[in-house]
Amino acid sequence: MQPRWKASLHHDSHAFLETGADGLSTRGAKRESLATIMHDARNMVTALEFYCEMLAAPDVLGPAHRHYRDQLQLLASMGRRLVGRLAALENNNRIPTSAPQAALGSVRSPILSAGSPRPQHPVPRCQDMLPDHGIGNLAAQLLANRDLLATLAGPAIRLTMDVQDAELPVRMTGEDLTRVLINLVKNSIEAMPQGGHIHLALRENRNRLSACRWLMLTVEDNGTGIPLVALGKIFNPGYTTRSPQPSTPDSLAGERGWGLSITRSIVKAAGGRIHAANREPSGACFEIELPVGNR
């Protein structure tokens, strides 16, 4: 017989997930596509599974705390089943995909070649383009995500961060920042199947002519870069350069190609802009500009 706490956790979590699958499908029809919800759900479950593997290693947890690991593993497996149920709901609405990428070179201080078009439009007053709440210290929030991103990248990819005088507020929530970072880092990981280097940098953009201060967040890698034909389309919903993969019980073709579209939507909602370009001699760089908010 399983322990009472585990039986209770299983019952409560199962009821929650049963309700969640129906609720997410309804919400997806009204506010977001199910594919975008699926994309973020898969990312969160994958991160949770990574942490479960780390906690399962010998001597990480003592006997008195191993039940926490068991609970997380149970929730991770339930989350993976929920991903499968969401995939089944979207099974009749698949989006076709196209070609893959591979990896390696050196990173830091990128020299950018042709990139996605930079948005050209008048800059409104900062107060007019920012939501009502956000992060109080973007530098600290970025550093708080380092371990999660390094775990996601795995041992074959080195992940580094450089933060310079950027302890400033922005009107993006911590949860949305994590979504943006996971989407961009996953994009780099997929371009480096043999391993490589991902570098994140944050600094104030003092060269920008504007009525308010701006921060620049860059995510760069030393993969093969972005195909030139894709640079103008890379932020389009559903667009992907990856080749089709064999179907699995929890696969969802319509989920592919949404990461950068979701990222652009989040950045735009925070009053910011995102630009993609290729590095020389190899690799890709994503630049995010965010206006500084009020503390």
Read off the pLDDT of residues 131-154 as tens digits, 9 standing for 90 and up: 456 899 999 999 989 988 998 899
pTM: 0.62
**pLDDT at 74 (0 to 100):** 75
pLDDT averaged over the chain?
75
Task: State how far the alpha carbon of 123 is from the alpha carbons of 79, 129, 270, 276, in Å.
Answer: 42, 9, 13, 20
Nearest 5°: CA angle at 264, between 188 and 280? 40
Please give the sequence-ordered ranges of beta strands (E in DSSP) within 106-260, or none if there are none.
111-115, 157-164, 196-204, 214-221
Residue 294 has pLDDT above 70, yes or no: yes
- Residues contacting 211, CB < 8 A, separation 6+: 123, 125, 126
- pLDDT for residue 52: 84
Q: Residues 198, 221: contact at Cβ < 8 Å?
A: yes
Whether 213 has a pLDDT exceeding 60, the answer reads yes
Question: Quick one: which of 178, 231, 187, 213 has its CA closest to 289?
Answer: 213
Is the pLDDT at 45 greater than 90? The verdict is no
**Mean pLDDT of the region 203-226:** 88
Stretch 223-243: mean pLDDT: 79
Q: What confidence tier does 239 reach under pLDDT thresholds 50, 70, 90? A: low
